[in-house]
Amino acid sequence: MKQLSVARVACEVGLVPSALYRHYRSKDEMLDSVLDYIQGRLVNNLREVCEETEDAVERIHRLLIRHLRLVKESPALPRVVFAQGVFSDDFRRRKKVYKLFSEYLGSLSSIVEIGQKEGRIREDARPETIALMLIGIVQPSAFLWHLSNGRFDPAGHGRKAWKLFAEMIRPKRAKWIK
Amino acid sequence: MKQLSVARVACEVGLVPSALYRHYRSKDEMLDSVLDYIQGRLVNNLREVCEETEDAVERIHRLLIRHLRLVKESPALPRVVFAQGVFSDDFRRRKKVYKLFSEYLGSLSSIVEIGQKEGRIREDARPETIALMLIGIVQPSAFLWHLSNGRFDPAGHGRKAWKLFAEMIRPKRAKWIK
DNA sequence: TGTACATCAGTGAACGCGCGTTCACTGATGTAC
DNA sequence: TGTACATCAGTGAACGCGCGTTCACTGATGTAC
């Protein structure tokens, strides 16, 4: 994990390693604040799409786009979440990542549930399943993007996958006619 | 990455760290051989499901189940692939993981393509998109499983997601009647 | 069958290296009178 | 307006630690005669 060493990070912001300790007590605190930042971004995305539209399906669609954009904007984020979070030895941080993950999934599920009640999303599937499948559009393409050094296009996959996904979650018959 | 240190691995197999150097020239070589092992398992899965059934959709279904089982059987595998592969500083290993990933996706896509030609899978979607979406059922649930210390059940998610997925890839109309 | 030797997995002490971190210090900026 | 002092971000040398790795050695096992 040389790329996430204190020395490397310091260099990236034009400082000497020890200077970072004026702002953070330890490397752990630095990584934690990155996680907080990520959580903030995700919460922002949720808030914004809910302000932008009332339609649950459209909310989910925009959330997908924003999530993919977030990953592309800051390539370091998945590195912190996965390399330093999911597979960390530090139980505290893994718990933090778990909470972040669960809360995001929970919010997503709530949106799906609303969509189901409004008859815009099929009701014969659990909201959590649909929510996790949406994450399943983002994650693998983010990894492929990293591995391919940017040659693979997550946004492109997102567009094609959404076409199938939107159709998949659509109810067979409208519950009631508008 | 204490959990993947030479000392930890040696201890796990009841040896002293230096003893491992009788069998591998370096830690890199150890990790590479784990990647080879993973590749072998995935190739085996592909071979086996193709022997078991001729039906492309059923092949994909069984591949999903086997993939989920593989992840559950050996929790260390995702750690090697992701923590030490996708986010590694070592270009050589990232390339190796990329190749592994691409080849598996390629094989999966081929199966999808056959399914499309046989009229069992809708043709208005690229095989690669469908293949990557299938991976999208496995990966996030594997991470959740890790994060939740085994409380979350990937196989359960796999079952529910497959119900939706199978329906999603089904052609709107049969191409021809049998 | 017994003896002499080769092979080789495993040991344990030691190494160099890079990491996260500390600490006395510098020097620019803001504040009080 | 000028002087004296406080504050604090940033510096650079030094540290202890754990990592991957080396190497001379041990001791069990197989082989030749």
- Judged by C1' against the alpha carbon of A30, the nearest nucleotide is C20
**B47-101 pLDDT tens trace:** 999 999 999 999 999 999 999 999 999 888 999 999 888 998 899 999 999 999 9
* Chain A residues with CB-CB distance to B89 below 8 A: 1-3
Residue A21 buriedness (CB in 10 A; 0-12 / 13-18 / 19+):
middle
Spatial contact of A2 and A8, defined as CB atoms under 8 Å apart: yes
Taking CB atoms and an 8 Å limit, are A143 and B89 in contact across chains? no
* Chain B residues with CB-CB distance to A157 below 8 A: 129, 132
Which amino acid would we find at residue B107? S
pTM over 0.85: yes
Distances (CA, A) of B154 to A140, B2, B115: 16, 26, 26
Which amino acid would we find at residue A22? R
Query: Distance (Å, rounded) from C-alpha B15 to C-alpha B152?
Result: 33
- Judged by C1' against the alpha carbon of A27, the nearest nucleotide is C20
Query: Distance (Å, rounded) from C-alpha B77 to C-alpha B27?
Result: 16
- What pLDDT was estimated at residue A89? 86
Taking CB atoms and an 8 Å limit, are B147 and A82 in contact across chains? no
Is the CB of residue A69 inside 7 Å of nucleic acid strand C? no
- Output the CA torsion sign for A67, A72, A77, A82: positive
Query: Distance (Å, rounded) from C-alpha A130 to C-alpha A126?
Result: 7
| Position B2 confidence tier, pLDDT thresholds 50, 70, 90 | confident
pLDDT at B178 over 50: no
Other beta carbons within 10 Å of B89:
12
Task: Calculate how close chain A gets to B60, using CA atoms only, in Å.
Answer: 17
Encoding tokens for residue A34?
Answer: 């990155």
**B88-127 pLDDT tens trace:** 889 999 999 999 999 999 999 999 999 999 999 999 999 9
**A32-67 pLDDT tens trace:** 999 999 999 999 999 999 999 999 999 999 999 999
- What pLDDT was estimated at residue B11? 95
